[in-house]
A and B are shown apart, each in its own frame.
Chain A
Amino acid sequence: QVTLRESGPALVKPTQTLTLTCTFSGFSLSTSGMCVSWIRQPPGKALEWLARIDWDDDKYYSTSLKTRLTISKDTSKNQVVLTMTNMDPVDTATYYCARIVYPHAFDIWGQGTMVTVSS
């Protein structure tokens, strides 16, 4: 059974750096074709794709957020980490991680973690 779970702070202050961890099971990110992405959803709004990391360590980022995002993986721990710098109240959202089996879409999602940016 494939599962993903997001973890990280529920509250961050403006200008701080957010670090989120996606811990997964049921697959290996060293297996060809496996990828993990981060997606976010502000309250009451649509989904927004943020970043993706592949089995071969290729990385892809949202054009508008590229300068603030870093995605990395620790295959031995079955974890993917997303950092977002210079947080702003508009970054308040539920952050999801999701698996991709290349070349397809997000087939399994984590439950999401709500992050509020406020002083």
Chain B
Amino acid sequence: AIRITQSPSSLSASTGDRVTITCRASQGISSYLAWYQQKPGKAPKLLIYAASTLQSGVPSRFSGSGSGTDFTLTISCLQSEDFATYYCQQYYSYPWTFGQGTKVEIK
């Protein structure tokens, strides 16, 4: 199975900050990577698919980049509603796998 290493596991940031989360795949996955946002008690929400394509309705302050093994989610200007846990997920090969999550907390 492809392992996804996500970092950091948590971070503290302030509103207005630029935040970067990374995922590294144990082998190349082309651009078959998605990013999700999950708030407590809620289902995950798709933010980005195909590594860099913004899902409809998602604010443009979210962006994704990378291909192969290294990927990045960037929130350009953190808003109060962005405090949540973020997961990456590869859908290049089975079994599909998720990163361990990054909790973005208020500083």
Contact = CB atoms under 8 A, between A and B. Distances in A.
Nearest to A37: B96
Interface in B46-61: 46, 49-50, 55
Contacts of A47: 36, 44, 87, 89, 98, 101
Which label, helix, strand, loop or mixed, suits the secondary structure of the B interface? loop
Contact of A109 (B32, B34, B43, B55): B43
B72 to A, nearest CB: 17
B107 to A, nearest CB: 22
Contacts of B18: none
Interface residues of A, number: 23
Determine the interface band of chain B, counting residues with CB < 8 A from chain A.
20 to 34
B46 A107 contact: yes
Contacts of B32: 103
Contacts of B49: 104-105, 107
A61 B99 CA distance: 18
A47 B34 CA distance: 13
Interface in A105-119: 105-112
B45 to A, nearest CB: 7
21 contacts: A37-B96, A46-B98, A46-B100, A49-B97, A49-B98, A60-B94, A62-B95, A63-B94, A63-B95, A64-B95, A103-B32, A104-B34, A104-B91, A105-B34, A105-B49, A106-B44, A106-B89, A107-B55, A109-B43, A110-B43, A111-B42
Interface of A: 37, 46-49, 52, 60-64, 96, 98, 103-112
List the 10 shortest-distance A-B pairs measured between CB atoms, nearest first. Answer: A105-B34, A109-B43, A49-B96, A105-B49, A47-B98, A104-B49, A62-B95, A63-B95, A46-B100, A107-B46
